Chains A and B, each alone.
Chain A
Amino acid sequence: MRNRMRWQAARGSSLLVALGLLVSAGISSPAQAAGEQLTVPKATCGPGDHPETALQGQVPAALRAAGFKGFNCNLELVGQSKGDGGNWQSAEYRDSIGNSTSQGKGVGHKQGVVCAYHGTAFTTANRTHVGVPVIDVTDMSHPTPTAYLATTSMLDPWESLKVNQRRQLLAADNGHNGGGGPEVDIYDISTDCTQPQLLASLPVGTGSDGGNVAPVVGHEGSWAPDGLTYYGGDLRTHGGQYYAVDTADPVHPKLITTWVPGFANVHGMSISDDGNRGYFVSLGTSGGAAGLTDPTIAANNGLLIYDLSDIQARKPNAQAKLISTLFWKDGSGAQHTIPITIKGKQYLVFIDEAGSGGFSSQAQRQAACAANMPPYPMARIIDISDEKNPKIVSRLGLETHDPANCAQVLPDLVGLSTFTYGSHYCSVDNREKTTTLACGYFNSGIRVFDIRDPAHPKEIAYFNPPGTTTPSPGSNHVSIAQWRPGGPDWCSAQVHLNAATGTLWTTCQDNGLLTLKFTHGAWPFPESKTPAGQQN
């Protein structure tokens, strides 16, 4: 462990009711950081692999300039559906044989269809199709587009496109360019997930839905596991607010309530299996570069645990009640969470999308390095067995994250302004009995970790696809003008593991949908299962 966390998580107070009080977010005790590694041990590759040639996670400047050919370790490409490329995220539905009782054996049977959905950028130039591609990935070697969803929210769902497995619904809010309108779109995928049927594409919160009146803007979103509530993160209104939409009647979604956490902005979330707990994030930068070394500037990026029982029970004037907070400075731009259980103990996977001090502009990267803090975001695992006192137990940084390597890594990123070597979305194999975490780390590609010992995660495989030489018109990597010909992709989407077949699929923004197979016996572990709907 070459690095020690300098700014450690601040233990939040256990306020039971969010009354607009700001929780004091001090700087943590060094004791909490003592056993905490920054970088995970590297995967051990096998014959035929193309391992990374520099640091773990790194695509050196010279390889970028020469045209990056890709790296792989214990994962190999099986199939691809590039299409127009993708943007931030992906979602999966496994039909019939692919349901929870069969562990996702969805290969070659009509009843076992596995459907993939992913967002594309809110662009129209040079597009062959706009909206959300529906791709049949039942046969992983031949992923086949079957439909394109082009209703309002589907034109750019940003980070809100999510499947609810129990009710067999697909939903998104209007996240056009990160903040669209008040629409929520819902599709029925129960009959044939390759041909989703539109149930609703309607504004919520405007009064026309019959629910509470409060304007909302789309960006992030996630289902309660019972499929009766869809939660959203609106980063534009009141400096950031969360909202809950009643989807009991999916044809008529209506707003239940909104709330403003008030610590910083909002973003993604996950909901406990019973619907009574919400693991929301506070998207902050903790004062940016200035806050890195100034202990008087409080951390404001991190975890918010809410009691959602009023909303779940549909009580009148339902409110989300804050239970606890946990903030840190060695990451910012909080992205999302996944509640998991390992050996009967409750944890939370938490992922940032921005490094220490901000969204990783060149100046911010340099400031983080100067402060001896990781310049890029990463996943971390938090012990939530005492929900009033959540504690970080591990961080999943790569060697690129180690500030000791800044001199070697920073030259790779000259001219790039955001989303470089950091994390974005992760998934697990099974929320209920978790063994494996798989993440998209933008320029570092797909990274898979063994988290059976949550305090000591280990990398087991990675796949970083080759750089593309022509721009993909549906990629935000392109529309945000961070794409460079031959440079590494932006792998930002959820990774969908399948233990029954030893495969995964995901999307990277330039390469589109990729199906991969584990090699050299790296995965699954004997105890790994992937029941449908238990990955996020």
Chain B
Amino acid sequence: MVRGRSPKARRLQASRISDAGRTSAACSFVISPTPASDRRGLCFVQLGASKHVSIAALRFGKPVLAMAIGALSIALPACAADIRITGGNCASAVHVVARDAALSDVLRRLAKALDFELVDGGASDASVSVDVARRPVDLIASLAGDENVSMTVETNPRCPRRERIVKLWILPGKQATPVRTRPSAAQAEQARREQEGIDMVMRAHGMPTPQSPATKTR
């Protein structure tokens, strides 16, 4: 479910519901630019497992019209940045293919595809080029590893033993923070303890440490 109900979120929710009435994150959902063989300036939206819908589908009546409009509202912006998202059903990982796309765009598209709320408080516009298939939470960790990310997850009621992302926050953080701060005393102590521990392991196994060179073998 989309939470928060920002105007953008409401629009996304509306468009998703219009997508053939599907409201579940368990839908297979593919957005891709028009195939190279079909350069008519339109994007295709794949709904469900295999259906392709284009503007030509408008003639099939109001439900399809609503669906197509909703689909366009999602798909058209995607044409500029090459982003493809597939999967997300219970049985498989989510597959993201992006080429020179802004990270914020990729995350927005994931939010739409996987039906979670995205609170973007400062995602970098780092360019992303990936071709990766992973579970949703791992995908976020992989894509936004350099961001200050927080997320809530819950057991997916439709998919036994699967988790779904409920909400993802991109917080002002690592890359956006212009001021360098000194590590806190606790962080410094943790770093000291870690170094001390590693030095102990290294010394214990005859390896060099900053304080003590390795003992030579005969």
Contact = CB atoms under 8 A, between A and B. Distances in A.
Interface of A: 20, 50, 53-54, 60-63, 65-66, 158, 177-179, 219, 235-236, 238-240, 260, 262-265, 267, 283, 285, 333, 358-359, 361, 407-408, 411, 414, 417-419, 479-482
Contact of A285 (B194, B207, B216): B207
Contacts of A50: 161
10 contacts: A20-B218, A60-B138, A178-B201, A178-B205, A238-B218, A239-B218, A260-B217, A265-B205, A265-B217, A481-B194
Contacts of B194: 417, 480-482
B193 A481 contact: yes
Nearest to B189: A481
B200 A178 contact: yes
Contact of B137 (A60, A262, A407): A60
The 10 closest A-B pairs by CB, nearest first: A178-B204, A480-B197, A239-B217, A62-B137, A481-B193, A265-B206, A481-B194, A481-B197, A61-B141, A262-B218
Centre residue among A263, A265, A407 by max chain B CB count within 10 A = A265
Interface size of B as a range? 20 to 34
B127 interface: no
B150 to A, nearest CB: 9
B142 interface: yes
Interface in B128-174: 132, 134-135, 137-138, 140-142, 145, 153, 161
Contacts of A177: 200, 204
B135 A236 contact: no
Contacts of B197: 479-482
B198 interface: yes
Contacts of A265: 205-206, 217
Contact of B207 (A54, A66, A359, A417): A359
Contacts of B135: 53-54, 60, 62
Contacts of A236: 206, 215
B190 interface: yes
B204 A235 contact: yes
B121 to A, nearest CB: 18
A227 B77 CA distance: 76
A414 B145 CA distance: 10
B108 interface: no
B190 A239 contact: no
Contacts of A235: 204-206
Given A20-B218, A265-B217, A480-B200, A240 B206 contact: yes
Contacts of B216: 239
Given A178-B200, A481-B193, 14 more contacts: A60-B137, A177-B204, A219-B204, A236-B215, A239-B206, A239-B216, A240-B217, A359-B205, A361-B198, A479-B197, A480-B198, A481-B190, A481-B196, A482-B194
